[in-house]
Structure 1
Amino acid sequence: MQKAIIDDISSIADGVAALTLVGAGEPLAAWGPGAHIDVTLPNWLTRQYSLCGDPGAEDYRIAVRRERLSRGGSEYVHDHLRPGRELDISRPRNTFPLIPAPEYLFIAGGIGITPILPMMRAAVTSAAAATLVHCGRSMPFADELRREHGDRVRFGRPDMAELAAGLGPETLVYCCGPEPMLAAAEAAFPADRLHVERFRPRTRTFAPDTAFEAVCARSGRTVPVEADESLLNALRFAGFPVSSGCREGVCGSCELRYLDGEPEHRDEIGAAEGRLYPCVSRSRTDRLTLDL
C-alpha cells in the first residue's frame, strides 16, 4: 500500500471530479498507460480508478463520476473528500496495458476516457498514428483532448462498422466505456486486434456452482470451498491474506497462481496462463492446487 494526500479536486465535466494525489512522505510508485489503483476511502469502501494523468509526473490523477445509483463510493468522493485528506492507495496494477504498435484507434465512452488518456498521449509521443473517438452524455477532459491532440480526436457516437472497415492492417483498437459500446466493438473488430476494459462484469451464465477443494501447495493445507461460497472467501476464512478489491473479476487485485487442476475463469480480465482470480473463478476439477 501507499499513502497519498489529495492535492487538488476539480470539476472537469458534469458530475465528474478529477483528483490529484501526491505522495505522503514517499514518492508514489511508477506506472504505465492503462494502470489503475485501489483507493481505500475513509468510509471503509475500496474502489478502483484508472490513472489518467502523466506517467512521467510525480503525482497521480484519477477521475470519479458521481453514479446515479452510487453504492457509497462515488457519492463519498464527491460529497466528503477535500484537499489535504490522506488516503491509502494500492500500488498501480495494469490489466489493460498498451501494446507497442505503429497505429492505434482509441474509442472511449464517458468516464471510459480515463485509461485511454495516457494511452493517447503515449501513442502520439511514440510517433504512432493515433485516432481517438470520444462519446457520451458527459465527456470528461474534452478541452484537454482538443488542446493536446487537435483533429486526432473526434467527438460523437462511433460507427463501429465504418471504423472497422477503415482499420489499417497493423492497427490496434483500445476501447473502454459502457457495456453496449463494448459489445458493439467486440462484434465489429477482429478479436486479436481489440483490447477492452470493463468497469463492471457482463451478465453471463455459468454452470451451477459445485464444491471443490483448494490445495495450498506451499502451506500443505487443503481448504474446502462450498458451492455457496467463493474461493476468495474460503481462503480468507481459512486465514490466507489474499488481497481483494472489486470482488467482481474486474480489477485483478486478488490474482493467484495455480499449479494443477482446471479453473473455470469467470473474470473480465482474461487471466494469464497459470493465473486465476479467486473472487469469481471456481474449479472444473474436484481439486485445484494453488501456489499458497
Structure 2
Amino acid sequence: MSVVATELELDVVLAAPERLADGVVRLTLRDPDGAAMPAWEPGAHVDLALGPDLVRQYSLCGDPADRSVLQVAVLREPAGRGGSAHVHGLTGGERLRVRGPRNHFKLVPSPRYLFVAGGIGITPIVPMLAAAEAAGAEWRLLYGGRTRASMAFAAELRERYGDRVELVPQDERGLLDLDAALAAEPGAAVYCCGPEPLLAAVEQRCAPDLLHVERFTALPDTGPRGAFEVELAQSGRTLEVPADRSILEVLEESGVPVLSSCQEGTCGTCETGVLAGVPDHRDSVLTGPEREAGDVMMICVSRCAGARLVLDL
C-alpha cells in the first residue's frame, strides 16, 4: 500500500464554538482522553469529517506549540455546499473525526515577508505571523474584508503587532492596494490566501519564485481530456483511464486503496508519487517548481500529458 493510502486519523471532541467575527466561529478540538494532538506547522490544514460524505478542509489557526488542541475558524457561507452551515450548527460536545494535518502552504525561511489575506483567508496566516516574528524576520500584513466586523482576528492582530498589520475593510477603504504593498516590499516572500479574485490579482503582480498561495476553490479545468494508461508500480497492474474518468475514480473502482477528500484538486489528500511519464497538472496545490519536477500529482483532477504514467501505488 502506498503512503498516500495511510494517514493519521483521530477522533476528537469539540469545545463550545467561539464567535470570532460576523459569520465566523472558531472550533477547538481536543483528544477525548487528553492525549497530545498531532504536531503541525504554520500553513497546515486538516480534513474535518462532519458526517457521512461531509468532509471539509480547514486551515489550522492556533499555536503549533500548544499540543493540547487543534483550532480552525470557519466562515458561514450561505451559498456553500453545506459544510459551513453544519459547522455553525454545532454547539459543543460533539465527537468529530480529523484527518491530517498536511501542509502544502509551508512558510519558507526568509528575511522578509509580505502577507496578504482576504476574508477567512486570514486563518493560515495567523500562525505564520507568530513564526515570522519568532524568527526575527521583517514582515507586514495586508488584510482585507467586507467590513471590520467580519474580519476575524483583526483587533487581536492589530493589538499584538501594531502598524505592521494594515486592516482594509472594503466598506471603509475599498479594495487592497496591492501595487503599493508589493512595491514597498521588493524581494519579500509573499504569502496570500483568500478569494480567487484576490489570488489572481496577486499572481498577476508578483514574481512566481516569491509567491506562495493557498486556494479555497478549484481552478477551471479547460485542458484536453484524452484516454491514457496508468501502471501501478507496486502491484504491476495497468489500468485504462478513459477521457471521461479521473485517475482517482478508476483506482477506486478497481479496489486500489487511496485517500481522497475534496476531489477537485485543492486539498492535497490524494497526492501520489509519479515514477515515469509526464503529469498534466490541473490542481490548485502544487507550486510551479513542483509541477516542473513532475514527481508527484493530484490524481483526483490531474491527467497524463502522454500515453502512460507509472504511479507509486
Q: Same fold (TM over 0.5)?
A: yes
Q: 1:13-50: CA deviations, max 9, x gaps?
A: 11111101112333211000000000011243010000
TM-score (structure 2 length as normaliser): 0.89
Greater mean alpha carbon deviation, residues 28-37 or residues 147-156: 147-156
CA distance in 1, matches of 2:201, 2:179: 9
Structure 1's consecutive aligned runs of 4 or more residues displaced over 6 angstroms after TM superposition are: none
User: Where does residue 177 of structure 1 map in the other structure?
Assistant: 194
Aligned residue among 231, 241, 249 for 1:225: 241
1:237 is matched with which residue: 224, 234, 253? Answer: 253
Whole-angstrom distance in 2 between the partners of 1:158 and 1:123: 22
CA deviation profile, 1:100-120 (whole Å, cap 9, x unmatched): 111111010000000100001
Match of 1:203 in 2: 220
1:278 counterpart = 2:299? yes
User: Which SS does the other structure have where 2:212 is aligned?
Assistant: strand
CA distance in 2, matches of 1:202, 1:282: 15
Partner of 1:63: 73
2:26 maps to what in 1? 18
Q: Which amino acid aligns with 2:20?
A: I
State the one-letter code of the partner of 1:143: A
1:53-202 matches, within 5 Å, as 53-58=62-67, 59-79=69-89, 81-137=90-146, 138-156=150-168, 157-169=175-187, 171-202=188-219
Q: Which residue does 1:9 correspond to in 2?
A: 17
1:227-250 per-residue CA deviation (whole Å, 9 max, x = no partner) reads 111100100111111100111111
Q: In the aligned structure 1, how far is the partner of 2:109 from the partner of 2:159?
A: 24
Could you list the per-position Cα deviations for residues 244-270 of structure 1 after superposition, in whole angstroms to 9, with x for gaps in the alignment? 011111110001011111110101112
Instruction: Write the letter of the residue equivalent to 2:180.
Output: E
1:162-182 deviations in Å (ceiling 9; x for gaps): 11221233x111010111111
Q: State the Cα distance separating 1:82 from its structure 2 match.
A: 2.2
- Residues 181-208 of structure 1 show CA distances to partners (whole Å, capped at 9, x for unaligned) of 111111112111111111101225212x
- Residues 148-157 or 173-182, more deviating: 148-157
SS at the partner of 1:280?
Answer: coil
Alignment check: 8 A CA contact 1:8 1:21 kept:
no
Counterpart AA for 2:162: G
Q: Which amino acid aligns with 1:14?
A: D
For the 8 Å contact 2:219–2:283, the answer to whether it is kept is: no
Greater shift, 47-56 or 66-75, is seen at 66-75
| Aligned residue among 266, 270, 273 for 1:254 | 270
Structure 2: state its 5+ residue gaps.
Answer: 1-8, 169-174
Identity %: 48
Any gaps of 5 or more consecutive residues in structure 1? Answer: none
CA distance in 2 between counterparts of 1:8 and 1:141 reads 18
- 1:44-77 Cα deviation digits (max 9, x unpaired): 3010000000000121110111112121111111
The answer to whether the Cα contact below 8 Å between 2:49 and 2:56 also exists between their aligned partners in 1 is yes
- The separation in 1 between residues aligned to 2:240 and 2:266, in whole angstroms, is 25
Selected match of 2:44 from 14, 21, 35: 35
Pairwise CA distance, 1:8: 3.0
Match for 1:73: what amino acid? G
Q: Which amino acid in 2 is paired with 1:96?
A: F
How far did 1:84 drift? 1.3
Counterparts of 1:96 and 1:54, CA distance in 2: 16
